[in-house]
Chains A and B, each alone.
Chain A
Amino acid sequence: MAIFEARNITQSYEGVPIIEDICLALNHGEVVCLIGASGVGKSTLFQVLSGMKKPDSGGVFLNGEDITGKTGMVSYMLQKDMLLPFMNVIDNVALPYRLKGFKKKEAREKVRSYFGQFGLEGAQDKLPDQLSGGMRQRAAFMRTYFFGREVVLLDEPFSALDELTKADLYEWYLNIGGELGLATLFISHSLEEAVSLSNRVYVMSGVPGRIEAEVAIKRRGSLREFCSTSEFSEYKNRLRDLL
């Protein structure tokens, strides 16, 4: 059974329909990508899924419970890392605990032991401006993880990074996502990224935006090996055709 579901979501803005009749599901430990042209309504859909917007019709369900319009039920990360420049890395990462009412010291203690796992050992006391792009993104992932939700929504999480850093982070995310048992739904404009990371890909198109296709990706071997196979190119071509 899917742990996270969107059922028949329709949303309009000032009377103009943006997305229509969107249905999607996310299973435990799965990485699912949402691709589509700019303006098709992907970010609007994410705002509905994260509870920031209430849809005109339809509902969002987490483990069968209706969470439509409720914030704080799923973890959400935006395209920009959104680290606060005036807080050191440990305080940025511990922010979800501060918002839950923990004292600064307690919040720090809760996150401190995870820094090695997220590849941020030694970065605890640095300011975000002192980190590289990849490290900033890792810190943002870490903060997202401490929302403490099993469902993670990522809005173009790798788009601001250079190619080498992206390749490293893809592998890292697949490993850590698997270790932590996260169910991830992410938006991407990159077909390569969609095929590299996902178990399934939803393709959105049209005005208003609808989910027009769903493609299952069977990845074999390591990510590096998979990227150099003909299957990888076939998946990319298929998605390109669907777009």
Chain B
Amino acid sequence: MLPSPWDAVSAFVDDFSILMKHTLTTVAEALIGLAVGIVVGFAMAIIMDRFNLFYFGFRPLLIVTQTVPTIAIAPLFALWLGYGIAPKILLVSLTTFFPIAVGLVDGYRSVDSDMVDLMRSMGANEWKLFRFVKFPSALPNFFSALKISVTYSVVGAVISEWVGGVNGLGVYMIRVKNSYSYDKMFAAIILVVAVSLIFMAVVNILRRYIVFWKAEIK
């Protein structure tokens, strides 16, 4: 039953063009969902930082959204939104916005209160305080959160494809599983891992250039 590594590599080579087509779909869903997750995460973090009521009110709700099993809500999204790209994007966004929102709001709130006082004494308003101090200070947290979110995005897209879709590595996995082609299944798994690793590598490179003042903990 269990294919040898060579079988998996061989299946990868044989099905390369098909796998690439499905990979493109999964990557597109993951990236669009991640982008939406980042935007929503940013917006929530700003609101939570600005208003204590939202911080204490939203945080428990955010945690609840993360305890709902992805695999359980994916079919519901497919029922509501069909088999197109929308339910995939929604699921990926839902799984990726949380680390971003929490990472950013923790970054904003960890700014030295003396620095905030100093900026206010210079006459800085909320926007200038955010632009010159809070946002750059939160960038290391953002990139740590982004590393988690990019891996979630790929897994989220694949899970969403499992429950219904036309293209994507998840769809491909279900098909090859139903035909007992476990060598191809392993080829797809390796590809999912490879895509996640590439995403993480890109995040690491971006972090090195953007958060240039802070060495990464190895």
Contacts and interface: CB of A to CB of B under 8 A. Distances in A.
A86 B136 contact: yes
B18 interface: no
Given A86-B213, A99-B132, A51 B114 contact: no
B123 A50 contact: no
Interface residues of A, number: 24
Give chain B's interface residue range (CB within 8 Å of chain A): 20 to 34
B114 to A, nearest CB: 5
A80 interface: yes
Given A85-B213, A86-B213, A72 B121 contact: yes
Query: Which interface residue of B119, B121, B123, B212 has the most chain A CB atoms within 10 A?
Result: B121
Contact of B117 (A52, A127, A129): A52
B121 A52 contact: yes
A78 B213 contact: no
A102 to B, nearest CB: 12
Contacts of B148: none
B218 interface: no
Task: Report, nearest first, the 6 A-B pairs whose CB atoms are least far apart.
Answer: A72-B123, A76-B121, A50-B121, A86-B213, A86-B136, A85-B213
Interface of B: 112, 114-115, 117-124, 128, 132-133, 136-137, 139, 211-214
Given A52-B121, A86-B212, 12 more contacts: A47-B117, A50-B121, A72-B121, A76-B122, A78-B117, A78-B118, A84-B115, A86-B137, A87-B136, A98-B132, A99-B119, A100-B123
